[in-house]
Structures are given as structure tokens and as C-alpha cells.
Amino acid sequence: MAWYFPWITIVPEYQRVAVFRLGRISGYRGPGVVLRWPFIEKVVVVDRRIVTVDVPPQECISKDNVPLKVNAVVYFRVEHPDKAIVEVVDFRKATLEIAQTTLRSVIGEMTLTQLLSDRTTVSHQLQQIVDVATDEWGVKVSRVEIKDLEIPDSLKRAMAQEAEAERERRAMVIRAMGEREAASQLAEAAKLLDQSPNGFQMRYLQTILRVSENGNTVVFSPMENVVAGHAALTALRTKQH
């Protein structure tokens, strides 16, 4: 803001001036050239750009009685400079205090699982509550973001153990399902072989040939299978060559 004469003020685009006439607020002016009556009117400059305020870490207790340390960041801007000056002594400090108390209140209404899985909902709820509280000061809160959620080390270890146990449980379920499917397929194959004796003999001889391919020169076989499978073995070798 530039002053050329006591009654002429150049106000930048991102600022506004609240005008007091004989001690009473008469609105705000700007941007551009603002004229005022010397000794009668007084102006107070207000920046209307978005302000970022860090909320210090707050000691909170979640709904399921988990101690947490949470910090956040608040984005706000002055919508009505006259209200921001008249209605509150320091709108920045007041907005920060509201954000701190609201943060503790919202965290206390949610479980740890909700806080970890849905930060967007938490941030949106914080923004709405703080925005309503600061509206009478002419302050518009656009966003409230959770920056960090600090969990006790003992709880972190317990959560890691729980996650590992859950992974092991899922692996066991998958293995059991695989074994069940394999057993079902084997039972179906056994049923088919039982219905076809020749097919059973062919499967038996295929197994013997596979064993002999690994360097085994002697294979013991039940006597009843030797005579019954001689013809099938000859047919199988002829088919393979």
C-alpha cells in the first residue's frame, strides 16, 4: 500500500482497507485509488490473500481410547475486512484457536481405523466446522489438512503383528483352497481311470517310463501289472516314436 498524500491511498489488488469515519466503521474500499477525509477518516489495511497457519501437534484421544498426537494446517482468507477488524481482536490467532479445539473434538469422535483409512472425510469435517465458527469474523476457511498422525510405538508394533497374522491367514486360506481344488481334480481323474481299466494301465506305464527317464535302470512292478500291461507298453512306445 502506497501513500502519496494523507488523503490518497493506493491499494494493491490483494489488499482492502477498512474505513473508519469518526470512529465508526463505514465499510471497506479498494483496490486502486482510495480517497479519505483527513482527520475524519482512518483506514486499516487487510490482506485478502490465502493465509496458511500450522496447527501445533495436539494430544488427542480417539473414540477407541488410543492416544494420538495430531497436527494440521489451515488455509483461510479474509472475505470481509470490516468484520475481521471489528468483530475480533486478532482473527489469525482466533482462527488458530478454533482449529485446535475443533481438531481435538473431531479426533475424539472417530476410531483409529477411521482416521487412518479416511483422512479426506476428517479434513472435510474439520473445514466445515471451522468455517462456520469463523464466518462471523469475515474469515473464509477453504481447507484444513491433517499433516501428521503420530501413533505410539507399542501400537505400531501391535498393528504390524496384526497385519502379518492377517497375511499368514490369507496365505493359509489360499493354500487350502488350492489343495481342495487339486484333491477334487485327483478324485475326478481316479473316477475316470476306474471306469477305464486300459486307461489305468496306460497311466501306470507312463509313470514307469517317466521314472526310467531319470536314469533308473531297474523298476519293480507288481506281477499282475507286467502281463496285463505288456501290450499297452508296446503300443505306448510305438506311439512315442
Closest CA to 62 of 128, 110, 113: 110
AA identity, residue 48: R
Alpha-carbon distance 145 to 121, whole Å? 10
List the helix and strand counts (H, then E) for the chain.
7, 9
Residues 114, 63 share a domain: yes
Verify cis geometry, omega within 30 degrees of 0, for the bond prior to 31. Answer: yes
CATH of the domain at 106: 3.30.479.30
Residues 116, 76 share a domain: yes
- Comparing 206 with 149, which gets the higher pLDDT? 149
Over the stretch 42-63, which tens digit does the pLDDT of each residue have?
888 888 899 999 988 888 888 8
In sign, the C-alpha dihedral spanning 226, 232, 237, 240 is negative
- The per-residue pLDDT of the chain, averaged, comes to 78
Residues 204, 164 share a domain: no
Q: Lowest-confidence range among 13-17, 179-183, 198-202, 233-237?
A: 233-237
The bridge status of strand 41-47 relative to strand 32-35 is unpaired
Tell me the mean pLDDT in the region 32-46: 83
Q: Lowest-confidence range among 54-68, 169-183, 204-218?
A: 204-218
Domain of residue 27, residue span = 2-46
The bridge status of strand 32-35 relative to strand 139-150 is unpaired
> What is the value of pTM for the model shown?
0.62
pLDDT of 15 over the 70 cut: yes
Residues 188, 125 share a domain: no
Residues 105, 172 share a domain: no
Residue whose entry in the numeric block shows the C-alpha cell 475524519: 40
Residues 103, 191 share a domain: no
Residues 55, 133 share a domain: yes
Residues 77, 138 share a domain: yes
Domain total for the chain? 4
Alpha-carbon distance 34 to 31, whole Å? 8
Q: Which of 126, 151, 176 is a domain's end point? A: 151
Residues 72, 103 share a domain: yes
Alpha-carbon distance 161 to 119, whole Å? 23
Contact 121, 144 (CB under 8 A): no
Residues 86, 28 share a domain: no
Over the stretch 100-150, which tens digit does the pLDDT of each residue have?
999 988 988 888 888 888 888 888 999 999 999 999 999 999 999 988 888
Residues 63, 9 share a domain: no
AA identity, residue 49: R
Residues 144, 56 share a domain: yes
